[in-house]
Homo-oligomer: A and B are copies of this chain.
Amino acid sequence: MSVLIVGTTALDSIKTPKAENPRLLGGSASHAAVAASFFAPVKLVGGVGEDFPKKYIELYRRHKIDLEGLQMLPGKTFHWSGEYEINMNNRRTLATELGVIETYSPVVPKSFQSAKFVLLANIAPALQSRVLDQLTNPKFVVADSMDLWLNIALADLLQLLKRVDGFVLNDSEAQLLTKEDNVFSALKKIHKLGPKYVIIKKGSHGSILSGPRGFFICPAYPLHKVVDPTGAGDSFVGGMMGYLSTAKGSIDANIRRAMVYGSVTASFCCEGFGLNTTTKTGRTQINQRVKELEALTKF
């Protein structure tokens, strides 16, 4: 089965202590879509400006991403510039040029409306809800978000959370949302907001799922060097949804393994700028790292 992914399709200019990379393909939907493409056909919903490089359209196409839902809008593509500190853990936004995203409203093409697996990658929660409004009968909907929406669009986000099956956020966002330091107490509180499945991402410490079958402690693949973590969270949830959409059996039976596949896909993302390394990987390399993770966690 295919995955419908909505989110930002952007240009990222990323500075780290060692390098500077202008106008890379970025955005939550781009990272999630490429990650999901290793497992399932992907239908992308997003909006770009007239300056969006043709080479990135070709990149999407190489990953067999269905672009019927990618709108070309008058104006400039959403452009984010950021800088990472020496330890690659803290990042600072240098500039955000919203461009076409400022007035963007997602339109789900007719052929996408019956999608069963839906990933609402990070974008304004009101827009995530607008995508849900256009779907006929989704089976499993997961939303991602970011601290910005917790701060400026909390009401919209809380509305959305009542309508999704799964919610993915990082540990600092979980703390911001619940005022709970303890990750397991935070998970409990987030379930009360709606989602049956809640995943808290902890970067290099892995992630924690809370679902109907209890907790799952998901490891991160050991990386000796992180080049650029931008998009790692999007790759994680994209890979997870891609795997889930094609796995036989129930969500409950597959979601743990799906998280491990997502985690490994995210590890490739961290090893290069933007999507540079992710696009060079493939299912064989992903399977290899999943096998390694199995060995690294056995006791």
Contact = CB atoms under 8 A, between A and B. Distances in A.
Closest 4 A/B residue pairs (Cβ): A205-B205, A256-B299, A87-B181, A217-B219
Contacts of A192: none
A297 interface: yes
B222 A296 contact: no
A225 interface: yes
List the number of copies, as a whole number.
2
Contacts of A223: 182, 184
Contacts of A288: none
A12 to B, nearest CB: 23
Interface string A210-234: 0000111111001111100000000
Interface residues of A, number: 37
B182 A298 contact: no
Contact of A299 (B185, B202, B215, B260): B260
11 contacts: A88-B181, A185-B224, A188-B224, A205-B206, A206-B217, A214-B296, A215-B296, A216-B299, A217-B296, A218-B299, A219-B297
A253 to B, nearest CB: 11
A183 interface: yes
A61 B259 CA distance: 47
A257 interface: yes
A200 to B, nearest CB: 12
A159 interface: no
A21 interface: no
Q: Which of A182, A185, A294 has the most CB of B within 10 A?
A: A182
Given A185-B224, A219-B297, 7 more contacts: A86-B181, A88-B181, A183-B204, A205-B205, A214-B295, A215-B222, A257-B299
Interface string A266-298: 000000000000000000000000000111111
